[in-house]
Amino acid sequence: MLSRVADSLYWMSRYLERVENTARLIGVNHNYILDSVPEEKRPKRLAEVIHSLDLEETASPDLGMETLFKRLTFDMEETGSIVQAITFARENARNVRELISSEMWTQINRLYLSITQANPDEIWNDQPHTFYKDIIEGVYLFQGITDGTMNHSQGWHFIQIARYLERLVALTKLLETLYPNDIVMAEVMPKHFFRHAAALKSVSAFEGYCKVYTADLQPQWVVEFLLFNKEFPRSAAFSVNQIQKSLNKLADMTGKSSNHRLHQQAGQLFATLHYSDMSDMLEPNFSDYLASVKLKAYRLHDTIYKTYIDYGVE
């Protein structure tokens, strides 16, 4: 596979995952802030949303919820906005139009048009939650179409790696924002129930968590579920497992199994999440553990790029 093709498929998938993550964060926090956050504490919650999306340099809680969320959705000049991410995803899909299925191309165009042609004021005055829910379901549909209509060859595995790597990085950013050391170790307080519920809903994990732990939202259990549960498709452990599976398949298909560094890094990330428990996570502190996971994910991205996309010509 040509490196430019791998590059386009990789970033198409990462940008689409970013669209979904941003839409869910905005949709969940819009409802949570309106229903459960006092007016004087809303700037702090907006700052947490901005930090979760890694947008401190371009966005500010001083804008207020409506202006901030509109910019994060509809402003093409706003780094990390939904409209910017879907535009970049569509352009990457256009670059590999001959490789993806016609159904995939149709769906990404449908999603692109639903966002770019929307009227922000009408949406905000009507049902913003429904709008963000439709975006999330549009990405779900694209992913299902991809799995059902595209050959599960090299290109499909690049899409899987990108999806789960983006998901892993987004999760670590969310956890480091919402669960600093003092929150993870704190006693459960009734007033924090909706905060923990919003954290789980931000990664579609509330129902999955309740099936394992019931509706008792203990902060350590929330973190444990999101990091270590091997069966929930948005947990860190599940994401790393899927990345490693696709890397192994790519190695067999491309003959690059000799890249010891790539598989070593993937194995280290796998071990960090599959052979750790709460004591490892809290020693010396949770923030350091999360920083280690995120750094390993960034390094894995760099090595994947050097191996399959930006490799030198010998």
- d(CA 241, CA 38) in angstroms, rounded, equals 40
Would you call 60 helix, strand, or coil by DSSP? coil
- d(CA 249, CA 133) in angstroms, rounded, equals 33
Residue for token pair 């939202």: 217
Model's pTM, two decimal places?
0.93
Of 179, 163, 169, 157, whose CA–CA distance to 224 is shortest? Answer: 179
Mean pLDDT of 184-191: 67
- d(CA 283, CA 47) in angstroms, rounded, equals 27
CB 153 within 8 A of CB 254: no
Give the 3-state secondary structure percentages of the chain, helix then strand then coil, rounded to 5.
75, 0, 25
| pLDDT single digits (tens) 236-290 | 999 999 999 999 999 888 876 656 788 899 999 999 898 877 777 777 788 889 9
* Largest Cα span, the chain: 62
Mean pLDDT of 199-226: 93
What is residue 187's predicted lDDT score, i.e. its pLDDT?
A: 66
- d(CA 167, CA 161) in angstroms, rounded, equals 10
Percent of the chain at pLDDT exceeding 90: 71
What is residue 2's predicted lDDT score, i.e. its pLDDT?
A: 77
| pLDDT single digits (tens) 28-70 | 999 999 988 999 999 999 999 999 999 988 888 999 999 999 9
